[in-house]
Amino acid sequence: MFDGKTILITGGTGSFGQKFLRATLERYKPARIIIFSRDEMKQWNLEQELAGCPGFKSIRFFLGDVRDRERLRVALRGVDYVVHAAAIKIVPMAEYNPFECIKTNVVGAMNVIDTAVEAGVKRVVALSTDKACNPINLYGASKLCSDKAFVAGNAYGGGPGTRFAVVRYGNVMGSRGSVIPLFRKLAASGELPITDDRMTRFMITLDQGVDMVFHAFENMVGGEIYVKKIPSMKVLDIAKVVAPEAKIKIIGIRPGEKLHEQMIAREDAYHTFEYEGHYKILPALHKWSSDPGRIGDGKRCEEGFCYSSDSNSEWMKPQELRAWLDQTVQEAR
């Protein structure tokens, strides 16, 4: 579906944006793929890294911020598809800088929606987080607002206009700012900080996240929140795999941090449908959760269903994480 089309990625120099860029160039032949981000040094480094690779001539680097609606208007001219990955996502940073978080995660989402509709973009997929489900921190609350805006945005386009969907997933293994790079960095010190030895998190690779976004683009009618089925793991077990010789220091839960994460709350169960490898939350707006075109072959979840990292039926084994870590080391070489 991307052959000969123009794709724009907000936050395109981030971990997900770079992985999605490479995967798109491997699988498709887009006319243009635009990296939209605000850090010129990251763009410069990425451009140097990709120079000469297959499909490089189709890449465009566009400096801009999702807070700047006028810049988005310029960037979205002639764009067919958008992946919205730009966000302020580090929980403590958002807690201490709430205005900045809201400007990027909420106002930025609104800007993407409005300018995408104006530009006649065909489809937009926005990235979300498990922290948007029953949020207790500002990052999660801001992403919940973003999710709600993207779902409701489907009513703005009207008829065959711009379609919006959301992909929600948990801790991305190895992404910048996540726990695995932190533990790797601190391993040499001989001590790893753990907020609580009971803490659990959902685990997903960047490749799995990219595949879910591709699926959303292909499958979406508009208004869906896609939730991939992924395993859970105790943060304590992650630490033991990354640095088995390191001493564990329990430091207590940080501001805005949950003991366990949810991706689907009990309140969403009635509007949630299960598929082979994922769930789909359909909006209650306009009775879209009863729309056969959006439901497809999904099975409605039972009343009271909750998709939580501590009650998950699938768990990642330590040896599986070790194999993934070994693979990333080999790929880095």
Q: Catalytic site residues? A: 131
CB-based contacts of 281, cutoff 8 Å, min separation 6? 224, 225, 227, 264, 268, 271, 272
In whole angstroms, what separates CA 161 from the centre of its chain?
24
What is the rounded distance in angstroms from the CA atom of residue 298 to the CA atom of residue 272? Answer: 9
Interior/surface letters 192-220, b for 16+ CB within 10 angstroms, e for the rest: bebebeebbbbbbbbebbbebbbbbbeeb
End-to-end CA distance of the chain: 33
In whole angstroms, what separates CA 255 from the centre of its chain?
22
What is the rounded distance in angstroms from the CA atom of residue 96 to the CA atom of residue 120? Answer: 37
Contact indicator for 297, 275 with CB cutoff of 8 Å: yes
Backbone φ and ψ of 257, nearest 5°: -100, 140
Interior/surface letters 90-105, b for 16+ CB within 10 angstroms, e for the rest: ebeebbeeeeebbbbb
Q: Which two tokens stand for residue 285?
A: 């707006």
Q: Helix, strand, or coil here: 293? A: helix
Task: Give me the helices (H) in the chain, please.
Answer: 15-27, 40-50, 69-75, 91-96, 98-102, 108-119, 138-152, 154-157, 179-186, 206-219, 235-242, 292-295, 318-332
56 secondary structure, DSSP code: G
**Residue indicated by tokens 């993207």:** 150
What is the rounded distance in angstroms from the CA atom of residue 138 to the CA atom of residue 102? Answer: 8
